Amino acid sequence: MKRLLVLCLLSIGLLAKAQTTGYQIGDVAADFSLKNINGKNVALADMKSAKGYIVIFTCNTCPYAVAYEDRINALNKKYAAQGYPVIAINPNDPGTQPGDSYEKMQQRAKEKGFDFPYLMDPNHVITKKFGASRTPHVFLLEKTGNGNVVQYIGAIDSDTEGNNPDKVKYVEKAIEAIAAGNKPEITTTKAIGCTIKWKKDGA
């Protein structure tokens, strides 16, 4: 009996935790205004013609994020014109991870020819709101009359190394689904990635 009680309490605890750790599928994501590498702030509402947004938490320093840079570029090239631009947000604290400083972000974006916003998130405010936990971590938003609805959370595709011809392109499939007025078949995926480099206490 005691064990059962503990189990119940534990389950409630887990449920509560799941509900407070960021956006779930179907939630409306609040807009934000974050500084881009060109010094100007970017908000979702600025992109008036967008039908949705591919929000990607990514960084300079995680080898798995770096492995996806070309594919992130390709996503933007393919889908920005269709109304689904990439918005990259670097969730890492530059004090904890100097390789993710503003200057280093500018440098990396130039080297890789990023043609999408690459935003800073000081103090992880937006990262925590979304509930991003790793890099790279994608949140696909669909613009609706009720706001920007979260339609997909997870990995870009099923193949980090980028050499499996049978890979499942999760983000592309999800965009194709919502563009066709449907719900994505796969709404959440998990993937190995790097932890977010949180600001250290007192820093």
Min dist CB 196 to other proteins, Å, is 7
Distances (CA, A) of 41 to 6, 36, 74, 85, 194: 48, 6, 24, 16, 26
192 contributes a contact to other proteins by CB under 8 A: yes
Cβ of residue 137: shortest distance to other proteins, in angstroms? 8
> How far is residue 154's CA from residue 192's CA, in Å, rounded to a whole number?
10
Q: Report the alpha-carbon distance of residue 79 to residue 65 in Å, rounded.
A: 20
> Shortest approach of other proteins to residue 77 CB, angstroms?
26
Regarding 77 and contact with other proteins (CB under 8 A), the answer is: no
H/E stretch holding 19 reads helix 2-20
Q: Which amino acid is at 13?
A: G
Taking each helix axis from N to C end, the angle separating 170-179 and 69-79, rounded to the nearest 10 degrees, works out to 10
Q: What's the min distance (Å) between Cβ of 31 and other proteins?
A: 24
Give min distance, CB of 15 to other proteins, in A. 12
Three-state DSSP state, 163:
coil
For residues 80 and 133, which CB has a smaller minimum distance to other proteins in the complex?
133
The reply on whether position 101 binds other proteins by CB under 8 A is no
- 67 phi/psi in degrees, rounded to 5: -60, -20
For residue 189, state whether it binds other proteins (rule: CB under 8 A): yes
Stretch that binds other proteins, among 33-41, 44-52, 101-109, 185-193 (CB under 8 A): 185-193
Stretch binding other proteins (CB under 8 A), from 39-47, 48-56, 101-109, 158-166:
158-166
Could you say whether residue 196 binds other proteins (CB under 8 A)? yes
Take residue 51 and report the two structure tokens written for it.
Answer: 């039908």
**Residue carrying the six token digits 């400083």:** 101
For 7, other C-beta atoms within 10 Å of its C-beta total 10
Q: How many residues at the interface with other proteins, by CB under 8 A?
A: 20
Name the CA dihedral angle for 78, 82, 84, 88, rounded to a multiple of 10 degrees.
Answer: 40
Q: What would the x/- binding string for other proteins be over residues 3 to 42, using CB under 8 A?
A: -----------x----------------------------
- Residues of this chain that bind other proteins (CB under 8 A): 14, 61, 63-64, 133-134, 137, 155, 158, 160-161, 189-197
